[in-house]
Each structure stands twice: as structure tokens, then as C-alpha cells.
Amino acid sequence: MNITVIGTGYVGLVTGTCFSEMGNTVTCIDIDENKIENLKKGIIPIYEPGLEAMVLKNVKNKSLFFSTELKDGLTKAEIVFIAVGTPMGDDGSADLQYVLAVAEQLGSEMEKSLIVVDKSTVPIGTGDKVKAVIQEELDKRGSNIDFHIVSNPEFLKEGAALQDFMKPDRVVIGAESKEAFDVMKDLYAPFTHNHDRMITMDIRSAEMTKYVANAMLATKISFMNEVANICELVGADVNQVRIGIGSDSRIGYSFIYPGSGYGGSCFPKDVKALKRIAEENGYQPSLITSVEEVNDRQKLVISNKVIKRFGENLSGKIFAIWGLAFKPETDDMREAPAIYIIKDLVKRGAKIKAYDPKAMVEAKDYYLKGLEGITYFNSKYETLQNVDAMLMLTEWKEFRSPDFGELKSQMKNAIIFDGRNQYGNLNLEEKGFEYYQIGKKSIYS
């Protein structure tokens, strides 16, 4: 099929690349000229395992193209995906300006019948808005081109995006015409060929499904973080509790790790947006509101431990930070706990020596840009000289089994604060470290 993907970010680039990998001809459009120029030269704007090789292969095969001009993608396309950002607006709702701008452009530039698929995460009823905007533009130019609206929310995880897209747990399709369902079924058939994973529904339910999935996962995380904080107070070990409850098949083991709270581009904004959607419709969502409040507090649990250990005034103290990205295998720092923790420590006079395998450019150029008191290092061990303590904040594999002898020999104090999830049993106390983690009372405090 001939496909156009509008918005070449994490979702758009992965979507376009994976469809081209399956033999479709895909044009990825973006208004960011620099991004498109780089992609044409084979420079990939994001870090996502396996993506670079797949992009280069499909560009070489002439099945994947990049352009800043929508009309380049509209001449032959049968299906157009909208995959632009829907960032958080000032009031917490999803900002639809990019989606609606694309709808307007589509309405004024489409030349033949199209299936318009919304892949961005959008508030319920956006499908109707997109349809109305396109129709308005078509009416303005007296055109009666036929088009179909589809909602196809994306569930990929950054860090495992290709794998998730190529082997999805499910493909949710919301549409209102048989023709649209049939085309989407054909398009996704190669991704779901061992058994049908397509779930069809109406457009509003598909839009709602995406928010509910993220809110449910965020709820599990906040619930377990709250449990972790209680465990610490009562002298229980949350990791033992986690294994104890996960063994119940009704609960399961996934998404019940305690940590420094959820971050990233999706959970924070989608939980907020769902809360706004409920409020706008006259419902006070108390559980969803609490999920967010617990998460906001959780981001500072580790810096509170540092303050408890070293005092409110951290002038003269130096801390090594291992991990800046909001999770491993990505350079994405959107809403990363590291941002909040580092800013809190620096505000109190501390100096930071930071390292992340992939996110340092993001930190320097954007999320921690201009922050005084932070220095970046090219390897994790280089951060350790003379530090008062080290904080581990992202679950990168290379932090799992570091050389603890080397750590001890370089650090002023053998003190580690572990804000990561999943690594509760390092037994660092036995290796001579003062060790603080989430959900387990330290023997030192």
C-alpha cells in the first residue's frame, strides 16, 4: 500500500519504518526541516534500538521517503496517519493544535479519496473534530472527495518500539465504515498473522482505550510506590512484598516495581488529560487525581533521602548521578525523575557530576540547559572522583553490575542512593556501602 505518515517523531518514524519494512511504500512528513534533512542523510533523530538499521535499509530499498511537503505524500497515498505531538496544554488537557493543523492541511490539499488515521493520543471526540475540519476545508474549495476517519492509538514503548510495533499485543481500530475496517485489516495483517490481534470498535471507544491503558499502568506504578513508602515505615521490604503479591495470577508481576515515579512523554500527560476529560464532563476522578499526586511526590523520594542524610544545605557536597533518561534504552528525558532530583539538589547548593549512556545531549541542550553546578562525563566511573554519594536513577543494563571495588576507591564516601526500580537485592551493605533504596528502611537511618 502507499502510506503517508505525518509527524516523524518517536511514533511517526517507527510507524513509517515498520510499514515500509513490510513492503509498503511510505512517505514520512515533518515540518521540522532539520529533522527531515538529517533523515535524508541517514541521521536518525532519536535513539531507539534497531531503528537506524531498519530506516537505512528501507531508504536504500526505496520504500521509505522523507519530506517536509505534505503534497509529496498525498499524490499516491491511500492511507494517511496523523502522528504529531499532543503535548500537555496549560490546563492539563491535550493540546490539539498540531492535530487540527494537519486536518486543515489535509482538507485543503488532498486530491483523492483517503483513509485518515489518527495515531496520536487524543481526547475523546477528536475523530469528529478532525472529520469536521477536513470537511470544512473540502467544502471551501467545493470538493466532494470521499474520506474515512479511523482511530488507531499506538501502544509502543520507547526502548522497545520496533519490537512492540512488529509484534503488537493488540491493534485497536476505531472506525465507522466497513471500507475503513477492511483497509486497516489488510494493512496490519502482516503484523498479526499468527493470530488475529485486531480489536475493532467505534472511534470514541478507541480514543478512550489509549488513555485508559496508560492510566491503568500509571495506577499500578503509583499504587506500588505508595506501598513502598509504607513498607519503609513499617520495616517491610517492598521487593519481598512485590514477589509475594505478584505470584497471585489476578495481580501478576508486571508494572508493580517501586521506583522514582513514572516519567516519559506519555503517562504524565495522558493521566492529566484523562483527569481533564473527566472534569470537563462533570466527573471528579479521585483515583486518577491521586495517581498523579503520588507520582509527583515519588519523584523527590530519593532527594529527600539525600537531604535526610546530608542536611537541607548541600553547599560543598558533590553527587554523582548515573542515569538521566526516564527509562533505559531511550534518550528521552521528558518528565524524567532525574530532572526533578537534580534541580532539587542543585537548588540546595550541591554540585552534580552526571552520566547517561544516551541522554546527555538531551540534558545539556534541553532539559537541564543552563543549569549551573552540573558537569557531564563520558563514562560512569569518571563521575565518581571525590563525590559525597552516588545516585542511580535509570535502570540501564551497564549499571547493574558495576565494579564496586572501583566505586569505593574513587568515592569520598561509599554511599549509594538507588532510585531505580527492579534492583532491590544488590546487598550493597555487605559490600561495605551505605545503601539507600526505595521501599526498604536503610540500616543507616
Ligand X SMILES: NC(=O)c1ccc[n+]([C@@H]2O[C@H](COP(=O)([O-])OP(=O)(O)OC[C@H]3O[C@@H](n4cnc5c(N)ncnc54)[C@H](O)[C@@H]3O)[C@@H](O)[C@H]2O)c1
User: Applying CB under 6 A, which residues contact ligand X?
Assistant: 6-12, 29-32, 35, 83-86, 98, 101-102, 120-121, 154, 156, 158, 265-266
Minimum distance from residue 67 beta carbon to ligand X (Å): 10
The CB-nearest residue to ligand X is 9
Minimum distance from residue 205 beta carbon to ligand X (Å): 17
Minimum distance from residue 402 beta carbon to ligand X (Å): 28
Minimum distance from residue 257 beta carbon to ligand X (Å): 19
Q: Which is nearer to ligand X, 8 or 93 (CB)?
A: 8
Q: Which is nearer to ligand X, 46 or 411 (CB)?
A: 46
Which three-class secondary structure string do you get for the chain? CEEEEECCCHHHHHHHHHHHHCCCEEEEECCCHHHHHHHHCCCCCCCCCCHHHHHHHHHHCCCEEEECCHHHHHCCCCEEEECCCCCECCCCCECCHHHHHHHHHHHHHCCCCEEEEECCCCCCCHHHHHHHHHHHHHHHCCCCCCEEEEECCCCCCCCCHHHHHHCCCCEEEEECCHHHHHHHHHHHHHHCCCCCCEEEECHHHHHHHHHHHHHHHHHHHHHHHHHHHHHHHHCCCHHHHHHHHHCCCCCCCCCCCCCCCCCCCCHHHHHHHHHHHHHHCCCCCHHHHHHHHHHHHHCCHHHHHHHHHHCCCCCCCEEEEECCCCCCCCCCCCCCHHHHHHHHHHHCCCEEEEECCCCHHHHHHHHCCCCCCEEECCCCHHHCCCCCEEEECCCCHHHCCCCHHHHHHHCCCCEEEECCCCCCCCCCCCCCCEEEECCECCCCC
Minimum distance from residue 353 beta carbon to ligand X (Å): 29
Q: Which is nearer to ligand X, 266 or 314 (CB)?
A: 266
Q: Which is nearer to ligand X, 84 or 150 (CB)?
A: 84
Which of 18, 28, 231, 266 is flagged as catalytic? 266
Residue 231 designated active-site? no
Q: Which is nearer to ligand X, 88 or 245 (CB)?
A: 88
| Residues taking part in catalysis | 266
